[in-house]
Amino acid sequence: GVGDSADLAAIYLRLVEDGHDVKVFIGNPLCHDTLAGLIDRVTDWRAELDWVRSAGTEGCILFENVGAGRGELQDRLRRDGFNVIGSSAYGARLENDRSNAQRILLDLGFSTADTFEFSDPTTAIRFIDERPARYVLKTSGPDAPSFVGRHTAGRDVQAVLDSGRKFVGSSFVLMDFVEGVEMGVGAYFNGANFLRPACLDWEHKRFFPGDLGELTGEMGTVVTYSRTKSFFDRTLGRMATLLRENGYCGYINLNTIVNERGIWPLEFTCRFGYPGCAILDPLQRTKWADLFRAILNRSTLQFDFEPGFSVGIVITTPPFPYYREAVDEPVGLPVLFEGDLSHDERRHLHYGEVGLRNGALVTTGTSGYALVVTGTGETLAAARDAANMLADKVIIPNARYRRDIGTRLIEGELREIEELGLFDIEQY
């Protein structure tokens, strides 16, 4: 595994639990305590290439992100004969260059929101004066932040642009706000075709319940593999030819807004998502190693899954949603559990920034992204309640998390999606 902060810790630990040999490179020095005592960590991933090659077809390199030229790097490693899952140079551009992604979607015949690209805030502020509207501000580049405006004349977006905050990089876009239900569709791509089924997901990015506060990396997500085929075919499935022609191999997600006027694609995530991968885990009867084999040797286009929903809750500690470089908060907080957890409950714990210190599990890392708990059920309400019950058993000083993951869907958004005809009539 190659990354900066062990974002895919949950996958690595599941692979170890299933008996596989795993080594992880963590690039950020402030994250070097993450997974301490839980997994074999290395200081130079390139020095491990012979180890990977010696495993033959059973050797695999998993890349977590597409920053710092890692898309091109993955392509080179594939040309050198390595099994690589993650993304590609094409995927990196698709995710990081938002204007380019919108042009590709438009060429494929999608309905796209009007998008305007800028390189300096002053020009964008003048543009909003001349074209007042509600906008979403999106910065290009890896891990780029966004700001969703609420003011109908764009005044709040202008204020952000004028503040000189990190939302503005060398390139950014203003996208017309589209009212509707936000939902994503994701699938594994083996370099030639998609594996089935695809998943549908509903992210909850705001820090506070009721979708208030800052946009975070993620506070929780609802996912399902049930009744997904028709939506996938109308959206992400149309990308197969382009992904095949450009050497993509890994997981890919397309985020959209849906309303009575259609499906409006917003942006791609061209890598494994987190906490998404952890929340999909309990719905995947096929184990991660077997799924990786299917991706790499193209032996099957199907994998086994559980019907129903999985709800994931991200349990965080300060400084989340910021970083310790900016906000000085302690690490090393104990991660405790109320009572004895059952084997099934422990399978629904997905560790993030944690490690062992003197034999005890503690928080580590830079962002306060401690762990994810999941709950599953035939209904979304059952899955949400199961996740909340397990979250209540996790005790970390000053832990914060949302207990309303999935509530808006239960109270009406799922019905809206159903009425729009976006779910399959029968189980896939």
Name which of 286, 248, 418, 230 is nearest 18 in CA terms.
286
**37 to 142, 279, 332, 359, 394: CA distances (angstroms):** 30, 24, 14, 8, 20
Q: Provide the token pair at 98.
A: 């938002």
Structure tokens at 172: 């950014």
| HEC-encoded secondary structure of the chain | CEECCCCCHHHHHHHHHCCCCCEEEECCHHHCCCCCCCCEEECCHHHHHHHHHHCHHHCCEEECCCCCCHHHHHHHHHHCCCCEECCCHHHHHHHHCHHHHHHHHHHCCCCCCCEEEECCHHHHHHHHHHCCCCEEEEECCCCCCEEECCCCCCHHHHHHHHHCCCCCCCCEEEEECCCCEEEEEEEEECCCCECECCEEEEEEEEEECCCEEEEEEEEEEEEECCCCHHHHHHCHHHHHHHHHHCCCCEEEEEEEEEECCEEEEEEEECCCCCCHHHHHHHHECCCHHHHHHHHHHCCCCECCECCCEEEEEEEECCCCCCCCCCCCCCCCCECEECCCCCHHHHHCEEECCEEEECCEEEECCCCCEEEEEEEEECCHHHHHHHHHHHHCCEECCCCECCCCCCHHHHHHHHHHHHHCCCCCCCCC
Per-residue confidence (pLDDT) for residue 168, from 0 to 100: 54
Specify the pLDDT at position 427.
Answer: 62
What pLDDT is stored for residue 141 in this prediction?
Answer: 65
pLDDT beneath 70: ranges in the chain: 141-144, 164-170, 426-428
pLDDT tens by residue, 202-248: 999 999 999 999 989 899 999 999 999 999 999 999 999 999 999 99
Confidence at residue 202, expressed as pLDDT on a 0 to 100 scale? 98
pLDDT at 97: 87
Looking at residue 133, its pLDDT comes to 95
Residue with tokens 């706000």: 177
pTM of the entire predicted model: 0.94
Distance between alpha carbon 312 and the CA centroid of its chain, in Å? 12
